[in-house]
Amino acid sequence: MKTIFYCSIILIMSSVLSSALAEDINMSVVSTNVLSMTDMLSNLIFGLCYVVGITLAFMALIFFRRYRQNPAETTLGKVFWTLLLAIVIFILPFVARTMSIYQTMENASEQSPSAVN
């Protein structure tokens, strides 16, 4: 897990550095590239939230089936908490869009840094 985290940090930093070196070293270009990468990363996280939420909901159905077959093996609490976690993770992108967290990041990535005071 640490290796994936460190590799992603290195990838992000190298892409920022390469964008800075590819053009004139200008903070507006670098900040625009970083914000667009942040926008892309947030889209990836929202997509993963949907996938993980659906997967956990399917797991809750499997746990419920196992609970019906043998209540001593799988408790009803396991079914309940898995389904609750699935709902929370699946609803997270909707809440972020409703609270306009995502819109703020998207607008910041599209705005020209020279126009910002």
* Tens digit of each residue's pLDDT (9 = 90 or more) over 9-68: 777 766 666 655 555 556 566 666 666 677 777 788 889 999 999 999 999 999 999 999
Domain locations along the chain: 27-115
CA distance 66 to 60: 10
CA distance 40 to 112: 17
Per-residue pLDDT at 111 exceeds 70: no
Q: What is the pLDDT at residue 29?
A: 60
pTM to 2 decimals?
A: 0.62
